[in-house]
Structures are given as structure tokens and as C-alpha cells.
A and B are shown apart, each in its own frame.
Chain A
Amino acid sequence: MIAANHYPILQVIVPLMAAPLCVIVRNNIIVRYVATLASWIALFIATQLMMRVMDDGPIRYVLGGWAAPLGIEYRIDLLNAFLLIIITIIGALVSIYGRFPVEKEIPESRVYLYYTVYLLALSGLLGMTVTGDMFNQFVYLEVAALSSYTLIAIGSSYRINRKALVASFRYLVLGTIGGTFFVIGIGLIYMATGALNLLDMAARIQELGGVADSRTLQVALAFLIVGLGLKMALFPLHLWQPEAYTQSPSSVSVFLAATATKVAVYLMMRVLFTVFGSVDLFATTMFDEALLILAVMAMFVGSLSAIWQVNLKRLLAYSSIAQIGYIILGVSIGNKMALAGSIVHMFNHALIKGALFMAVGAVFYRVGSSTLDDMRGLGKQMPLTMAAFTTAGLSLIGVPLTAGFISKWYLVTGVLQSGHWLVAILILFSSLLAIFYIWKIIEVAYFQSAPADAQPVSDPPLSMLLPMWGLTLLAVYFGIDAETTGLISQMAAEYLLGGGQ
């Protein structure tokens, strides 16, 4: 099959071309089917790519037949194949889940535009992941970022939900600063190496003797890390994130919380290990210590802030800041087990946060609010939704036999191997904090009765329940069958630490 050779580009092209099609069609129902179909095709392509990478090793795809230094190369190895799976699973399920919440939360005249922008965001995230060219990464980064700003604001009209506009504007300002820092970093590396292809950069940097002697490369690395830190909402650059996730429509919070920040983490891994990894970066610079401190602070600030929140969406957003802390912690430790922990946690956290945001979205769909007070008695009225929330919540805490346990297991093992036993204790301690904020919700939902004047509600429609339970069951399944994800992430970590050659 000819198409099979072109999967790397089709992965991006399919959603990218479906987007203008949606604008032309303009019929809300047909557009929904187009978007769903494109998302599922993307998932199919991602699984095909994953299987090929598992069998034959990394795929190199030359765009338009122009070889690497002149043209753009798409390069898929285990790490980004795994990430493609994460993005497309969430994309495919959100496209089904979104139907009813979108109808409720977005003005009817704008529904087809929602699907258009959603497809653009999806193709931006996928493009960032597949490409092996750093400037191309920047372009896709901006495609994804611009469409995320739009998605956050799309539910607001006149004075209804006007906070979303301000949240979107603040994200736009900080996101643009982050993106511009990223492009300054690319420019500085280009000055020093004359290359834009990630592997060419890595080879030149090795010839130059690494970052130790080159002020240009040191500054480049600093710009890249701060820029990507803004994009992934790493403490203390996280201020845009809670409002953006809280004010956006439910399906948008699910999609962005589960995928967008993970891709920024992926870019940071590429920068640290593939581009600068050919020299012993952490031995010659202080970047690992800096990241370690920020990661630990993110774990505590995120979890402690989450405990005090009364809006569930904001609570989950703060919890995401803590989870990004765990992922970056593994990156900063930089040995095989810790890095595998980071990679597997990207996957597990996407499933868990996706399921949690879907459950909160379902509550919002039925009750019209997502504050803690309005959760009273929902354990009886919406049993399936709250059961999914509880199960995914246990996985977030990291209870054994759930996916969250596996990631923390790898992480703690890696941290102990590196000798930072104090950090290992801090990980366990901050996991305890997660119990508080998850328990707070469970208590209100199950042990308090609904207020007398409240309308009785029931579980949401099947098209919302199925994706929610799909993610929840996956978040449990990958805790019991830890072989698959564990093996892939260990291989990916080994590959990254080997300089990605």
C-alpha cells in the first residue's frame, strides 16, 4: 500500500485538511462526523506507526524528497510514536464525548468553527511531535497555541461566560512570550551550528564540545527551557493555566489538559537529551538542579493549591501543575528508570486527567455548575459518572493496581538509584496531598445529601459515558498490565539517553 509509506505526513495532513473542509461545509452535524472521522483516522495511523517503529526501529521520512539538510525531515522513534498514541487516543475520544457538551456550551452558530479549530489544534500537536526539524516544531507549536487560545474563548458570547475571554487573552500573552523565547533559542543554536535538523544539531554540538565552552549555546538552552516551561505551565510559569482550563468549554479542558502540556514536555526532552544529549549536559551545567528544585516546588504548590479550590475544574488544573512537576522531576534526575517514569506518567496522566475532566464536564452538563457545593448527593444521582471519577481519582493518587502507581513506582525507583532519597520521600509525601483533594470531592458527592431545592439529575448520555469509562478503564488496565507501557517507556528512555542515534 502506497499510503503506508506516507503515514508520517498523513498523520498531520488528515486533520489539517479536514479543518478547511469543515469551514466549507458549515453544517454542524456533517462537520461533527468529519472531525470524528479525522480523529479516528489519526488514531489508526498512530497505532500503525507505533507498530512499525516497534518492529523496524525509527522511521525517517523526507518531506517532498528533499534530503535532510535542505529539506524538512519527519523522524519517528519510540518516544514520539508513544506520544502520538497519547494525543490521538484523547483526540478520538474527545471527538465523541464533545457532542452534547459542545451543543450546550457553545453558541449554535459557532459549533462548526469549534470543530475546525479543534482539528487545527490536533494537527498542531501531532505536527510538533512527528517533525525532526526544530523550526518546524516552532511553527506547529504556534498552530497549536493559536488554536488553543481560540478554543478557550469560543464558548463566550457578549457577557455570557466573559471570564473565558480574559483567560484566553492572558494565555495568549504568556504563550506568545513562551513561543518567542523558543524561537530565540532556535536562532541561537542555528548561529552556533548552522543546522535546524535535530540530529544535525546534536552532531555539531558534539563537535563544538558541548555547552561548556560556548556562551551562545548556554544562552540558547536557557531560552528554550524558559520558553517551554511557560508552555507546559511549569512552576513558577504556570499562572495562565488554572484560569484557562477553568473557563474553557468542558471538551476543550479535557483535550488541552490531557495533551497540550505533554507535548511541551516532549519538546523539552528532545532539547535536553537529543539535541544537547550527545555531551554530558547535566554534568557540565546546573540545569538539572534548577529543574529538580522547580519540579519539587511544582509538586507541592500545585497540590496544596488544589486542596483549597472549590471549583472542580480549577482544582484539577492545579493538580495538573503538580503532575507536570512529577514528569519534570524524572527528566531532571535523568537516569533510565526516572526518565521511563516521566514518559509513562505522560501517558498515564493523560488518561487519568482526561477521565477526571470528562467526569467534571458531565456534572457541568447535567447540573450546570462545577463547584464543590453543587456536587452534594451526586454519588446517588449520577452513580456511573461519580464511580468513574472515584476510580480515576484513585489512579491519580497512585493506589496500587492503578496506572498512577506504576508511574510513581518507576519515578521513585529512579530517584532512589540516583541517591536523592530525600526527593523520594517528598514524592510520597506530595502523593498524600492528592488524597486530600480527591477525598474532599468524594466525601461531598457520596456522604452529603442533595439540597432539598435541587433539581434531580441523572447520568449523562451514552456518548459522554463511554469515552469517560474508556479512559477510566484504561487508567486501571495499565496499572494491572504494566508490561506494555513500562517496556515501551523504558526502551524510549534508553534510546533518549543514548543520544537518539
Chain B
Amino acid sequence: MNIPDYLPGLFNYWVSVILMMTGLYVVISRSNLVKKLVGLNLFQTSVFLFYITMGKVQGGTAPILDAKFSVYSNPVPHVLILTAIVVGIATTSLGLSLVVRIRRAYDTIEEEDISEIESLERLKSAQEKGS
């Protein structure tokens, strides 16, 4: 079987896109808030992989100045992604702390249950007004 060039040559990019879509799918399809955050994390991590792959120069070595080497990988995307990792951690921790508070307030972390509670509340307040 002939494998086209772009499949193995762009392997990292394929993996990155697959991870990205998996993450997005988990965010959309799961009702559990923690699982949503896991999906969100996966989605962000795929971008880290994408940036790091982008910085790789074929045949290049680590970007430390040395007389023996003339080709280096591009360090800028690595530095950028360090910042993005910090952003990711901040988002995850904020999201998790919100989940803790949501559990305390609703006794559940399932989005479906929360929507149900909210619609019941709305119905109740409408009835009170009606009576």
C-alpha cells in the first residue's frame, strides 16, 4: 500500500488536530462538569503540541549557541507555549474551583441536573406569581 507523503511527514500535526477535535467533542458531549474541563484541557494541550512542532527545524539541535552546530530549532514557539501553559493551568484551577462551589450550591456536578433544577425553580416562581 502506498502511503502519501503528507501522512507520515505531518504526523505531529495530524495528532495535534485529532487531539484538538477529541477535546472539543468531550467539552460538547459530556454533561459532567469535571469531564468538560478534562476535554478543555485536552483541547488546549493539542495547541501546545502544535506550537512545539512548529518550532522544530529538521536536523536542528537544541538552541544553545555552540561552535559545533550551525542549525538550531526555533526557540520562540517554546517560550510562547510556556506562557500558554501557565494560562492553561490558571483556567483549569479556576474552572475546578467553580465546580467545587457549584457542587456545594447544587449538590451535583451534572449539567443536565443543574438545568433541571433551574427550570423547576423558574416554574415554581411563575406559579407563585400566578396564584
Q: Contacts A162-B105, A176-B44, A183-B47 given: A169-B54 contact, CB under 8 Å? A: no
Instruction: Tell me the minimal C-beta distance from B79 to chain A in angstroms.
Output: 9
Assess the A173–B36 pair: CB atoms within 8 A: yes
Interface residues of A in 156-208 (CB under 8 A from B): 156, 158-159, 162-163, 165-166, 168-169, 172-173, 176-177, 179-180, 183-184, 187, 190-191, 196
- CB contact list, B87-107 vs A, under 8 A: 87, 90-91, 94-95, 98-99, 101-102, 104-106
| Chain B CB within 8 A of A288 CB | no
Cβ of B105 and Cβ of A156 under 8 Å apart? yes
- Chain A residues whose C-beta falls within 8 Å of the C-beta of B21 in the assembled complex: none
A165 to B106, CA, bound (A): 10
Contact A190 B105 (CB under 8 A): no
Contacts of A184 in B (CB 8 A): 47, 50
* Chain A interfacial residues counted at CB < 8 A: 30
Chain B residues positioned under 8 Å from A373 (CB to CB): 129
Chain B contacts for A138, CB-based, 8 A: 84
For residue B19, CB closer than 8 A to chain A, the reply is no
Decide if A169 touches B33 in the complex (CB within 8 Å).
Answer: yes
A118 at the B interface (CB under 8 A): no
How distant is the Cα of A158 from the Cα of B118 in the complex, in angstroms?
A: 16
User: Interface with B: A145-153, A329-337, A409-417, A427-435, which one?
Assistant: A145-153
Q: How far is the CB of B94 from chain A (nearest CB, A)?
A: 6
Asked if B44 and A146 make an inter-chain contact with CB atoms under 8 angstroms apart, the answer reads no
Q: Which residues of B contact A176 (CB under 8 A)?
A: 40, 44, 91
State how many angstroms separate the Cβ of B37 from the closest Cβ of chain A: 8
A135 within 8 A of B: yes
Q: Which of A156, A172, A179, A190 is within 8 Å of B94, CB to CB?
A: A172
Query: Among B83, B102, B114, which residue has its beta carbon within 8 angstroms of that of A139?
Result: B83
Number of interface residues of B (CB under 8 A): 31
B77 and A177 contact, CB distance less than 8 A: no
Q: How far is the CB of B18 from chain A (nearest CB, A)?
A: 14
Q: Which of A256-312 contact B (CB under 8 A)?
A: none
A142 interface residue per 8 A CB criterion: yes
Q: When the two chains form their complex, are residues A169 and B102 in contact, meaning their CB atoms are under 8 A apart?
A: yes
Contact B43 A177 (CB under 8 A): yes
Judging by beta carbons under 8 Å apart, are A135 and B47 in contact?
Answer: no
In the complex formed, the residue of A with least CB distance to B109 is A169
The B7-66 residues at the A interface (CB cut-off 8 A) are 24, 27, 33, 36, 40, 43-44, 47, 50-51, 54
Q: How far is the CB of B6 from chain A (nearest CB, A)?
A: 13
Contacts of B27 in A (CB 8 A): 173, 177
A158-B105 contact in complex given A166-B114, A177-B40, C-beta closer than 8 Å: yes
Known contacts A177-B27, A187-B50; A150/B101 CB under 8 A: no
Min C-beta distance of A244 to chain B, whole Å? 13
Q: Does B80 belong to the interface (CB within 8 Å)?
A: yes
Whether the pair A142, B90 counts as a contact (CB closer than 8 A) is yes
Are A172 and B118 in contact, CB atoms less than 8 angstroms apart?
Answer: no
Distance, CA A172 to CA B41, complexed state (A): 12
In the complex, the answer to whether A149 meets B94 with C-beta atoms within 8 Å is yes
A146–B95 Cα gap in the complex (Å)? 10
* Least Cβ–Cβ distance between A481 and chain B, in angstroms: 42
Q: CA separation between A191 and B53, bound complex, in Å?
A: 10
Is B101 a contact partner of A165 (Cβ separation < 8 A)?
yes
Residue pair A166, B87 in contact (C-beta under 8 Å): no
The residues of A that contact B43 with a CB separation of less than 8 Å are: 177, 180
7 extra A-B contacts, CB within 8 A, seeds A142-B87, A156-B105, A176-B91: A138-B84, A142-B91, A169-B99, A173-B36, A183-B84, A187-B47, A190-B54
9 pairs, CB–CB < 8 Å, chain A vs chain B: A142-B91, A146-B94, A153-B101, A156-B105, A165-B105, A173-B27, A177-B43, A187-B54, A190-B76
9 nearest A-B pairs in the assembled complex, by CB-CB distance: A162-B105, A142-B87, A169-B98, A165-B102, A159-B105, A176-B91, A165-B101, A172-B95, A187-B51
